[in-house]
A = this chain, B = another copy of it.
Amino acid sequence: MPLSPDQQAEIAAQRATPRPTLRAVSDGMEAHLYHANPVLDHGFVRVIDYMGDDAAIVQAARVSYGAGTKHVQNDEGLIRYLMRHWHSTPFEMCEIKLHVKLPIFVARQWIRHRTANVNEYSARYSVMDREFYIPAPEQLAAQSTQNNQGRGAVLDGSEAARVLDILKTDAMRAYDNYEAMLSQDGQQGLARELARMNLPANIYTQWYWKTDLHNLFHFLRLRADAHAQYEIRVYAEAIAACVRDWVPLAYAAFEDYRMGGATLSAKALACLRRMLAGEKVTQETSGMSAREWREFIDIFG
């Protein structure tokens, strides 16, 4: 249950008082504002603010290309053209601000996307809450035997139970000791900036995260991908669901050209041309390594 009754009441109050604006308004996004979309066991994603809509992308493109864009008959066609030809700047004209609650090991992966603005809860200034990510049993998987960075089969019941017991027990003990070190009851009390070092990477933190739509699409392509770690992928999917309602035309183009598309090498294109001409191509005659060939076959079966 990610939000307290107080927080729920605050959201209800914020949502109760629309105000007039002359800015671009996305009705699809207004419906999302402030609502906490639950992610994992204690996390959430909330849209706090946004700037622009599909029409803002078109407007920016038409400033750049002037009369040159007149022949594209409609906004959808222009947005698809921009996406297809990597004209990224019009998408940068939209901006989104999110409030996210997430485990620290997810935050560490997320922050590697540098083109964003971040305000994170500070464990130097404040005491962390006792909230830890404990995976659902069906997420407890073994190391992949094929992929050095992935998961394989789900752990069987007794092993999963042992893991859950470790994760829960260690988290509670670490937090108990965190509190014990901070305590000023009969002792001086360790500084917060030091005590925090005892907390494990599955403790929840939170931040405000703001980025533009172009960089958000880049984030989503990498993190909503099937190869991304499950624990960040569910955040990406929660964000993607908001973006679909915010800028439906841009999101549809993104799905077609990025999420559902593929980048092929010169070697792969050459193979495809031969195959389309009726030739039977094998890994041996493809010029690709075994791994590249496997990835190629994954796409074209």
Across the two chains, which residue of chain B brings its CB closest to A139? B194
Known: A142-B191, A289-B77. A56 touches B66 (CB 8 A): no
By size class, the interface of chain A is 35 or more
Q: A126 and B67: CB pair below 8 A?
A: yes
Most buried by B among A18, A60, A148: A148
A130 close to B (CB within 8 Å)? no
CA distance A229 to B173 in the complex (A): 26
A interface list, Cβ under 8 A from B: 14-15, 17-25, 30, 33-34, 49-52, 56, 59-61, 63-69, 71, 77, 80-81, 84, 86, 89-90, 92-93, 95, 97, 99, 103-105, 108, 111-112, 114-115, 117-122, 124-127, 133, 135, 139-144, 148-153, 155-156, 159, 162-163, 166-167, 170-171, 173-174, 177, 180-182, 184, 187-194, 196-202, 206-208, 210, 212, 222, 229, 255-257, 259-269, 272-273, 275-276, 289, 291-292, 295, 299-301
26 contacts between A and B (CB under 8 A): A21-B21, A21-B25, A22-B34, A23-B49, A60-B119, A65-B126, A66-B126, A67-B127, A89-B118, A92-B117, A104-B201, A143-B191, A149-B192, A150-B191, A155-B190, A156-B188, A159-B190, A167-B197, A174-B200, A200-B200, A259-B266, A261-B263, A269-B300, A272-B276, A273-B301, A276-B276
Q: A51 and B122: CB pair below 8 A?
A: no
Q: A105 and B201: CB pair below 8 A?
A: no
Q: B194 and A135: CB pair below 8 A?
A: yes
Chain B residues, CB < 8 A from A212: 117, 210
CA distance A33 to B22 in the complex (A): 7
